[in-house]
Amino acid sequence: GLVFGFLSPLNSLEMKIQLLDDKCDAGITICGFRIHGQNVPFEAVVLDKSTGEGVIRAKDKLDCELQKEHTFTIQAYDCGEGPDGSNMKKSHKATVHIQVNDVNEYSPVFKEKSYKATVIEGKKYDSILKVEAVDADCSFQFSQICSYEIVTPDVPFTIDKDGNIKNTEKLNYSKEHLYKLTLTAYDCGKNRASEDVLVKINIKPTCKPSWQGFNKRIEYEPGTGSLALFPSMHLETCEEPITSIQASIMLETNHIGKGCDRDTYSEKSLHKLCGASAGTVELLPAPGNSANWTVGLPTDNGHDSDQVFEFNGTQAIKVPEGVVSTTLKEPFTISVWMRHGPGGREKETILCNSDKTEMNRHHYSLYVHNCRLVLLLRQEPTESENYKPAEFHWKLDQVCDKEWHHYVLNIEFPAVTLFVDGATFEPFLVTEDYPLHASKIETQLTIGGCWQGGSARMTQYFRGNLAGLMIRSGKLENKKVIDCLYTCKEGLDVQLPEEVASAVKFNTSLSSLSLEGDDIESFEKVMQHISYLNSRQFPTPGIRHLRVSTTVKCFNEETCISVPDSEGYVMVLQPEEPKISLSGIDHFARGAAEFESTEGVTLFPELRIVSTITREVEVEAETEAEGEDDPTVQETVVSEEIMHNLDTCEVTVVGDELNGDHESLEVDLAQIQQRALEMSSSNVGMVITGVNTMVNYEQVLHLIRYRNWHTEALFDRKFKLVCSELNGRYISNEFKVEVNVIHTANPMDHANNAMVQPQFINQVQHASMDLSGHNLANTHQASVVPSAATVVIVVCVSFLVFMIILGVFRIRAAHQHTMRDQENGKENEMDWDDSALTITVNPMETYEDQHSSEEEGDEEEEESEDGEEEDDITSAESDSSEDEGGEQEDQQGSTRQQQLEWDDSTY
């Protein structure tokens, strides 16, 4: 028999074999090998017929991934006996097992193109998600994934060899909402994945009960009415069952002015606006010409001219005599704004009336002591010397909380009622004392300290802020006025729809709002209707902090949620500031007689007060480029006139102060009082105060007159007018007026004429007021004429009386005829009717001509046509002569200079 012997393979695709004869027959030759099996990718080839060596080799390249092992049988044949080999012998069948070794020809591939996962912040996970990659190699070594790797650097995640991703730290939603990771894989043959894979990990915030949809910054534009604060607000309850909800909304305005946004008019004006009657005296007015005792006090100018005075414990002021009567007429009221704290052991005086000399008796005073507000009111000497209430004490937290509060004391002896921020407080302690002893010592009223007359020094200084200190004698303030004085102009506003109005209970004030309900949906609708409102025309710009505090109740009290406070702020934008403009005639001349008359000279006859604002608006402009039909938006500046109030107009003398012996500024007090205004004057000018319309201020200013009954040495006077709004927050331009005095040629003649013909003075004054807009003066022309002309003047006077009877029209005709005669050369005679008035040449004609305007000339022509003004013919003719040109003016001026003599001391 034949036996196969398998030798070591020749190469990767061949295996050497040898056929052995167990009987050692000689002469046997092996002619071939036969492989049995289907689709066997091998073949056997004889290498040495004599030895039986052969080789098994692959017909093609083997692929381990297709088939890792091959098993088949092989059989050998000899060459046989006989000539044709018909007696060929074959060996037994031998089984061949061939195992194909693997080559690392494939890289790992991830099963998914990308991976996603969602985690909740604040937790650490053992496995967020698992990624998996595979390798197509057939061997265990090359087909196994040995490791995974996160390619993205600096991420709080790691991955293990099995593909499990976990976080290395607690994740924070506020820090990162989404992480994107790039991953790769390696097989055990160190082959890297052909493509990396993307893993997205979303961070979900922990459900926290809170108000959602709340904008922290809310912008408020002045003049737009109510602004909804929480239009899209809703409450996140994290699916907890809620039984009831309470919320409070706080608007913090303590940093604005005196606790919130209020009109910054003077305290006296505010009292009038709130309905208080006359008799109110302001003890802390804004420093000015008419009230100068507050000039030395530091003021707080940081709240848009809200007048606040600071007292640091070292200064006090004396109120001048006559401002307040020495003995207050009962009943009376004391009101003040105060910010104070913390309290000290010493008395701190707000207001004190004490002996001026010799003694230290306090007649009445208001002071703070140990966070108590104390009113001392000593009774004046009476027949009965019995004990009477003298000190009233109130212990109040408001006195020392460093916040602004409004205090009003209504004193109707022996009862005293205190209002703090509109709320009533009764004294907790009242002490009695004897009335004062009779004496003739005068008293001194002080603020911020108390005057010790015996030692002539101040004591008991106040430390804090005061504003609006008022005394109203003879009448008490009613509750309506007190509430008006305290009420803010800004605050929270609620306009509820009917369907939810009954679902929620609420209490509201201007700065706080409390809500309570059990239906969350209705509660949210109410919150969405809460708004901010500022009714001032020019509100104080800046931040108003806003805070919402919420408390909820649940079915299960142990798991009830807690809603944190929501905080934001309302930003009140800068209002469009008005520009107050004063305009009119700023230079004119008048005859000396008008200054000396009882009426005087009107300073501002044609004054005009206009207030404008300038704003930027967007306008549409069509483009000229072809194919562009859409209009473009451009910004342009627009000036718009607006109406608002004024509260002060001050007329000031420029130059020397008024000499009370022979000059004054006057105005009709009845007209001022009719318009609810007040006037104060001094040697430097006049101040008109009170909140009123610009039209009323115009009308009053038209009435201001300047008188001077000693004009011999007066040539001109200059005045300055300034108006303001909101206690000086908005100030007008300085409108200056210069008035020239025209002197007559012979003062004695002028005086005689004025006395002889008083019946015409009223007419002249009336015409002067109506024609005060003229640049040329309405003068009485006077000339020094030869004695031969005296007869002519007498005739003219008689003719004037005749013409008055016939009518104004004949006067005009005669005047025009006479004027033509004069222009034709009748320079040595006065042939026209001069209305029996003293005729004066105006030496300022040339000067005035240079300063006259076309507009004023037009106004003069219109006024000269009015029937009431035709009496003053000379003024009208002066206008017409000026219009004819400078050449004729020069001729006339030279002719008059040769003909007339005047007092040239005016130059």
If you search the block for the tokens 């649940």, which residue do you land on? 554
Nearest-angstrom CA–CA distance, 108 and 110 = 7
Mean pLDDT of 699-719: 92
With a cut of 60, say whether residue 731 has pLDDT above it: yes
List the one residue out of 535, 536, 484, 489 whose CA is nearest residue 267: 484
**DSSP letter for each residue of 349-389:** EEEEEEESSS---EEEEEEEETTEEEEEEPPPP-S----EE
Q: What is the pLDDT of residue 440?
A: 80
If you search the block for the tokens 């507050």, which residue do you land on? 294
Q: What is the pLDDT of residue 541?
A: 92
Q: Which residues contact 327 (CB under 8 A, 6 or more apart)?
A: 380
162-171, 468-477, 502-511, range with greatest mean pLDDT: 162-171
Cβ 647 vs Cβ 691: under 8 Å: yes
Measured from the Cβ of residue 104, the count of other Cβ atoms closer than 10 Å reads: 16
With a cut of 60, say whether residue 856 has pLDDT above it: no
Q: Which residues contact 422 (CB under 8 A, 6 or more apart)?
A: 406, 479, 482, 483, 486, 487
The overall average pLDDT reported for the chain is 77
Cβ 519 vs Cβ 564: under 8 Å: no
Q: What is the pLDDT of residue 897?
A: 38
Nearest-angstrom CA–CA distance, 306 and 317 = 20
With a cut of 80, say whether residue 597 has pLDDT above it: yes
CATH of 267-486, one of 3.40.50.620, 1.10.3720.10, 3.40.50.300, 2.60.120.200: 2.60.120.200
Q: Which residue would you say has higher pLDDT here, 638 or 772?
A: 638
Mean pLDDT of 277-300: 80
Mean pLDDT of 47-73: 77
Q: What is the pLDDT of residue 781?
A: 37
Cβ 842 vs Cβ 776: under 8 Å: yes
What proportion of the chain, given as a percentage, has pLDDT over 90?
35
Q: What is the pLDDT of residue 38?
A: 76
Q: Which residues contact 278 (CB under 8 A, 6 or more apart)?
A: none
Phi-psi region of 65 (alpha: psi -120 to 50; beta: other; left: phi over 0): alpha
Q: What is the pLDDT of residue 670?
A: 92
Mean pLDDT of 574-592: 93
With a cut of 90, say whether residue 378 has pLDDT above it: no
With a cut of 80, say whether residue 479 has pLDDT above it: yes
Mean pLDDT of 224-234: 93
pLDDT bin (cut points 50, 70, 90) of residue 633 is: low
Mean pLDDT of 511-517: 88
Q: What is the pLDDT of residue 465?
A: 92
With a cut of 80, say whether residue 896 has pLDDT above it: no
pLDDT bin (cut points 50, 70, 90) of residue 473 is: confident
With a cut of 80, say whether residue 860 has pLDDT above it: no
Q: What is the pLDDT of residue 559?
A: 65
pLDDT bin (cut points 50, 70, 90) of residue 495 is: confident
What proportion of the chain, given as a percentage, has pLDDT over 70?
73
With a cut of 60, say whether residue 809 has pLDDT above it: no
Q: Which residue would you say has higher pLDDT here, 485 or 757?
A: 485
Cβ 159 vs Cβ 199: under 8 Å: no
Model pLDDT for residues 358-373, shown as the tens digit of each residue: 888 888 999 999 899 9
Mean pLDDT of 749-759: 38
Protein fold of 14-99? Immunoglobulin-like (2.60.40)
Nearest-angstrom CA–CA distance, 299 and 761 = 51
Q: What is the pLDDT of residue 589?
A: 93
Q: What is the pLDDT of residue 887?
A: 39
Model pLDDT for residues 117-136, shown as the tens digit of each residue: 999 888 889 899 999 998 87
Mean pLDDT of 564-581: 94
Q: Which residue would you say has higher pLDDT here, 825 or 559?
A: 559
pLDDT bin (cut points 50, 70, 90) of residue 91 is: confident
Q: What is the pLDDT of residue 140?
A: 67
Please report, in angstroms and rounded to a whole number, the separation of the first and last CA atoms in the chain. 165
CATH of 109-204, one of 3.40.1280.10, 3.40.30.10, 2.40.50.100, 2.60.40.60: 2.60.40.60
Q: What is the pLDDT of residue 84?
A: 60
- Name the pairing type of β-strands 678-682 and 685-693: antiparallel
Q: Which residues contact 625 (CB under 8 A, 6 or more apart)?
A: none
With a cut of 80, say whether residue 795 has pLDDT above it: no
Cβ 583 vs Cβ 610: under 8 Å: yes
pLDDT bin (cut points 50, 70, 90) of residue 386 is: confident
On whether the 210-253+501-572 domain is CATH 1.10.357, my answer is no
**DSSP designation for 192:** B
Nearest-angstrom CA–CA distance, 250 and 99 = 86
pLDDT bin (cut points 50, 70, 90) of residue 57 is: confident
Cβ 323 vs Cβ 447: under 8 Å: no
Q: What is the pLDDT of residue 271?
A: 87
* Burial category of 807 from C-beta neighbours within 10 Å (exposed 0-12, middle 13-18, buried 19 and up): exposed
Can you give the length of the chain in residues?
907
**DSSP letter for each residue of 802-841:** HHHHH-HHHHHHHHHHHHHHHHTT--S---S--TTPPP--
Helix (H, G, I), strand (E, B) or coil at 183: strand
Mean pLDDT of 247-267: 88
With a cut of 60, say whether residue 613 has pLDDT above it: yes
Four-point Cα dihedral 187, 192, 193, 199, nearest 10: 100
Four-point Cα dihedral 114, 119, 124, 125, nearest 10: -50
Buried-state track 819-850, b at ≥16 Cβ within 10 A, e below 16: beebeeeeeeebbbbbbbbbbbbbbbbeebee
Q: What is the pLDDT of residue 20?
A: 56
